[in-house]
Amino acid sequence: MSAGALTLSATEQKIAERINPQDTANLSVSVGGGVAFANAAQLMDFAKLMALSSAGVRKHLRGNVGACLAIATQAAEWGMSPYAVANKSYFVNDQIAYESQLVQAVILKRAPIKGRIRFEFEGEGDARICIASARLRDEDGGDVVEYRSPPYGKITPKNSPLWKSDPDQQQSYYAGRALCRRHFPDVLLGVYDVEEVQAVQTVPGGAFEVVGTAPAPTALAGRLDQLAARPAPAPARAERPVAAEPMLEDDHGEDDIVDQDDDVGGSGDRHDPGPDRDEAGAGGDGFPGDDALAALGDAPRVDPNDEDFKRGVTAAKRGAKKCLNPDITADPDRMAAWKAGFDSVEA
């Protein structure tokens, strides 16, 4: 085999065998950007080619024809290069998300505005806000619409390192996206920034609820009902000092949740709680096995105000299946408190 020859896996070989050369031969490249598809067959064959592109696409798209089809379809609607869109995408919490830069490019290309979005800033530090404004082109006189962001200190999550190194850039991304969602939501229908996807949690019924913002009244009412239905907490134990531990950049106290960095890449999947969560105590899932639990003996009752108890509660609500904080798993007392909080949340 010659050096640099393409080697296909079994899955990729099957994909390659299903490509119709006639359809791909008839594809036209648009001068304005992107690929011009004449029909769905061409689009699907192009998605197969993307899935075989190796380093041409990010890891989460390699061998994944369905995800490549979604990317190619989205790019065709936007009039952009499918490969450019693919390389601005991530796979987070079991769905495709996009870099803020691409989201802003889509807004500028498709929003019904004249010119570009204008950004202004007021205040300093955690009180700093960003004001995004744009002039509409579909209104008589070209009315101006604007969006004022929350103060910098109240925006969550802040997973990107640019929130520290270039906060104005990140806050302008936030405000521009919010301006679009408020005044012309059709432009970003079904399209989410990486941090938007990271800021949601699964709620009963399979829906998503945004966290880090004020919850809707129905969501709050549901939570109050759940709290009222819970059994009374166990008697408090003596407080013990809690060792300082590193916090996530967008920390809400949930040290047990895996932080998604800028290279979400191959997985990024949320671990959804299964029906057998209560049986997850033994084996390699992060909880101590039966022997370890037995060794705890007559441990003091867990204080519901204990920080590790609260972390366990938060982890269960977020859908985690195990504790991922090594400082907690290495300490039997802390692990017991975490697990007590985790188990206190009804499945």
Query: Do you know the residue count of the chain?
Result: 347
Helix, strand, coil percentages for the chain (3-state, nearest 5) = 40, 15, 45
d(Cα 179, Cα 111) in Å, to the nearest integer? Answer: 10
pLDDT tens-digit map of 46-83: 999 899 888 899 999 999 999 999 999 999 889 899 99
> CB-based contacts of 272: which residues, under 8 Å, 6+ apart?
202, 319
- Where among 164, 198, 232 does a domain terminate? 198
Domain carrying residue 64: 10-87
Residue 14 inside a domain? The answer is yes
Residue 344 inside a domain? The answer is yes
In this structure, the answer to whether residues 67 and 126 fall within a common structural domain is no
d(Cα 184, Cα 172) in Å, to the nearest integer? Answer: 17
- Where among 87, 118, 133 does a domain terminate? 87
In this structure, the answer to whether residues 164 and 114 fall within a common structural domain is yes
- Where among 34, 57, 87 does a domain terminate? 87
d(Cα 170, Cα 148) in Å, to the nearest integer? Answer: 14
Q: Let me know if 288 is exposed, middle or buried by CB neighbors in 10 A (0-12, 13-18, 19+).
A: middle
Identify the pLDDT of residue 20. Answer: 64
Residue 223 inside a domain? The answer is no
Residue 140 inside a domain? The answer is yes
Identify the pLDDT of residue 39. Answer: 85
In this structure, the answer to whether residues 139 and 57 fall within a common structural domain is no
d(Cα 44, Cα 51) in Å, to the nearest integer? Answer: 11
d(Cα 175, Cα 248) in Å, to the nearest integer? Answer: 23
| Count of the separate structural domains present in the chain | 3
Identify the pLDDT of residue 273. Answer: 40
Q: What does DSSP say about strands 207-210 and 200-203: parallel, antiparallel, or unpaired?
A: antiparallel
pTM (whole model) above 0.75: no
The CATH number of the domain holding residue 177 is: 3.30.160
* Three-class SS state of 329: helix
Smallest Cα–Cα separation from 329: which of 281, 294, 268?
Answer: 281
Residue 323 inside a domain? The answer is yes
- What stretches in the chain show pLDDT beneath 70? 1-8, 11-34, 139-141, 200-302, 347
pLDDT tens-digit map of 148-198: 999 999 998 888 889 999 999 999 999 999 999 999 999 998 888 888 887
Residue 236 inside a domain? The answer is no
Residue 247 inside a domain? The answer is no
Residue 146 inside a domain? The answer is yes
d(Cα 129, Cα 149) in Å, to the nearest integer? Answer: 6
Identify the pLDDT of residue 87. Answer: 93
